[in-house]
Structure 1
């Protein structure tokens, strides 16, 4: 029973027949067996019973030999399609002179199909021109011989139906194969582009992560250097007071004052060292020196101060607040429409700092993969290292940074 699935499979097989030496041998053997069966049944291609040329021993043995030779020649059709077609054409002419057989027509059909499917562009153009010329030659010859219009049309259609269908089928299979190959190349190209896009996205994400890590390391190294400078100042003061006490004869009031100053400096240095340990990370460059930063340098920043700037803050808090304000001012210049406004509030336990700036309304969106966003991360890192908090988010058309830093960094809260 012919089911729709079997019919579809047969259609696919007809459009793209199997290829390869094994398939070629199977085709040749099939054609040979079919041709021998047709010869045994005495089925003629031209519909004539008498051969044009009388052959010794009868036409059938010669036709069998020609059929065997033709099917053998077909085994080389993949390597030399045009040469095989020429050889098969000569054998078909000899077979026609002996009376003609459908087996040799099948050989010619396969040879024409192979040329249309596998030959080069120029060879295909030449062969197609020859086929069309043969059909036209049949038309002109029948007219010149005075055949009736019915016979002219009939013979021309027979010639066309014998020569052109294998060419049309082979050309259709060739187009299908080229289309499949092109689709396969496009699919491969799309997969390659997708792989490159994924690799690029991974590289961008990896570079962004490295940039963030590097920015955090640099920021922490700078924090440690700032604190190192202050601790060194306290220890230098301790050494100076001790040296002054030891330089002269014993004097109880003076010596006690020097010891008190040394104790105060030592305690201050210990407090700063505790803060430094919280923020110092192994691998930071602790040899570089920077000028201590603090809120006393707010005037150096492009910000509008609302109210008073707190003074006498712990060094770690003073430095962290200044660096956070410095980064917020930089972000305001990048993404805002004017200088940021900052206000401070300090009670006995915390320093609170609020930085606000107006956002641009005409800014183009930025691809998150192309920005490392290290500014907010380093600001938050500074606040967290001292036990504080930092939030940054838009409020309407205003960007607001709210920082809270404990005035006793490192205390358990």
Structure 2
């Protein structure tokens, strides 16, 4: 099996340890001067060379280095010994805890601690002198001390890694929140821009097409009048929206949010735009205490209902057959509380004459508004009423109202 390439720092440590050990050996410096079973001039170099070789594996194979290094340090006790061998063994114990597996990092400090205690007791029983405590302390310095230091370093490193990971996750979540907020704001701006300007542009498109296709001065003048009115109104809405987007100083006059009280004016404007096309617009408020006497609903609900009616009337002018366009408001009892039901119906069929192009963004915007309030939205052809057209296009939105109110005391 091919051994992994050692780290550059490990090569330097091994070279420094081997060079230091050779220097001490050449000077005759040993850890023990008394007679040993192996006392030849070269026996000290064996454990020294093996320990230096294990330093090359301190990062890549820390457990192998620890096992072989332990055998080498034990063998060194039968020779005159070398300080460099003992110092390199302490580094290998430290590296086994820092770079080894989590299980080894937990096991080695306990093992070396028990070895230190056992060695101290053994020396006391054998020697029966206070010097046995010093020998036990020496064993602890060589084995348990490096293991405990490695455990502390590894714990701090793991804590730093965990903190860095949490910081990265927090930054990622913050970026996701920012992206979602920007996306939601862009969608809200798109809905507002579409709802405020699309009806004016649709009326302009329809009447300009009629003026170009009909060679009647009276019809052309009436179409140009409607075009001018809608152009002025659309330009005013655009200027107000652009002013709100640009002005962040708070000095801009806040725009009043549309409410259901403005439906009468909205229907009257639709009558003006659709009169030449044969449209009739009807508003029916079937809520309890309907009309101007109806209690105010939460602002998000009133805004959504107003925009849904506005977009439905615009779509009727663009796509519906001539006939009656009915807007109906009603209260409905829901399981979670009361709700406002908005229904708009218009004749459905193959309409002759000029049409304004549609993109489908209006239906998407209405559906999004209802979804933000937790309501339900339906749009499509249904059976017409008795005595009326066979098919009508119906837009129906159910908007919960009580969930948006402040809790009562």
TM-score, scaled relative to structure 2: 0.53
Q: Which has the higher helix share?
A: 1
Q: Aligned pair in 2 of structure 1 residues 280, 139: CA closer, same or farther (>3 Å)?
A: same
Task: Tell me the alpha carbon deviations over residues 351-389 of structure 1, each in whole angstroms, 9 at most, x when there is no partner.
Answer: xxxxx99757xx5x87xxx989968999xxxxxxxxxxx
For structure 1, the 5+ residue unaligned runs are 1-19, 239-265, 282-301, 320-325, 342-355, 379-413
Q: Residues 95-152 of structure 1, C-alpha deviation per residue, up to 9 Å, x if partnerless? A: 221122111111211110111111123333443343123212222212322513x334
Inter-CA distance 100–72: structure 2 relative to 1 (3 Å threshold): same
Q: What does residue 315 of structure 2 align with? A: none
Is 1:87 equivalent to 2:73 in the alignment? no
Residues 357/138 of structure 1: CA separation in 2 closer, same or farther (3 Å cut): same
1:275 aligned partner: 225
Give the counterpart of 1:105 among 80, 83, 86: 86
Match of 1:44 in 2: 30
Q: Does 1:31 align with 2:20?
A: no
2:158 to 170, 174, 178: 178
Contact 1:28–1:75, Cα closer than 8 Å, also in 2: yes
Q: CA deviation at 1:41?
A: 4.5
> Structure 1 residues 93, 146: CA separation in 2 closer, same or farther (over 3 Å shift)?
closer
Give the deviation of 1:54 after TM superposition. Answer: 3.4
CA contact (8 A) 2:112 2:147 kept: no
Cα distance, 1:229 vs. partner? 12
User: Quick check: 1:133 aligned with 2:117?
Assistant: no
Aligned CA distance change for structure 1 residues 158 and 118 (closer, same or farther; 3 Å): same
Greater CA drift, 35-44 or 135-144: 35-44
Q: Distance in 2 between matches of 1:124 and 1:38?
A: 33
Deviations 1:295-316 (A, max 9, x none): xxxxxxx869xxxx9xx99x84
Counterpart for residue 194 of structure 2: 214
1:205 matched to 2:185? The reply is yes
Distance in 2 (CA, whole Å) between partners of 1:70 and 1:179 is 31
CA distance in 2, matches of 1:105, 1:186: 40
Q: Distance in 2 between matches of 1:134 and 1:303?
A: 87
C-alpha deviation, 1:76, in angstroms:
1.8
Query: Aligned residue for 1:399?
Result: none
C-alpha separation between the residues in 2 aligned to 1:39 and 1:89? 21
Shift of 1:75: 0.7
> Is the 1:117–1:170 Cα contact (8 Å) retained in structure 2?
yes
- Tell me if 1:188 matches 2:174: no
279 and 133 in structure 1: CA distance in 2 versus 1, 3 angstrom threshold? same
Q: TM-score, normalised by structure 1?
A: 0.53
**Superposition RMSD in Å:** 4.7
2:152 aligned counterpart, secondary structure: helix
Aligned to 2:55: 74
Does the C-alpha gap of structure 1 residues 122 and 228 become closer, same or farther in structure 2, counting only changes over 3 Å?
Answer: closer
| 3-state SS in 1 of match to 2:43 | helix
1:148-297 to 2 correspondence within 5 Å?
148=129, 150-220=130-200, 223-224=203-204, 268-278=218-228
Partner of 1:97: helix, strand, or coil?
Answer: coil
| Separation in structure 1 between the aligned mates of residue 209 and residue 59 of structure 2, nearest angstrom | 86
Q: Which residue of 2 aligns with 1:387?
A: none
Quote the offset at 1:207 in angstroms: 1.4
Report the Cα distance in structure 1 between the residues aligned to 2:261 and 2:68, rounded to whole angstroms. Answer: 95
- Secondary structure in 2 matching 1:62: coil
Gaps of 5+ in 2: 1-5, 232-259, 276-281, 312-409
Whole-Å Cα distance in 2 between the matches of residues 40 and 358 of structure 1?
A: 103
In 1, Cα distance between the equivalents of 2:177 and 2:306? 22
User: What displacement does 1:222 show?
Assistant: 5.8
Find the aligned partners of 2:82 and 2:304 in 1 and give their Cα distance: 79
Q: Do 1:221 and 1:280's aligned partners in 2 also have CA atoms closer than 8 Å? A: yes
Residues 371 and 182 of structure 1: is their aligned pair in 2 closer, same or farther, counting only changes over 3 Å? farther
Q: Distance in 2 between matches of 1:188 and 1:303?
A: 50
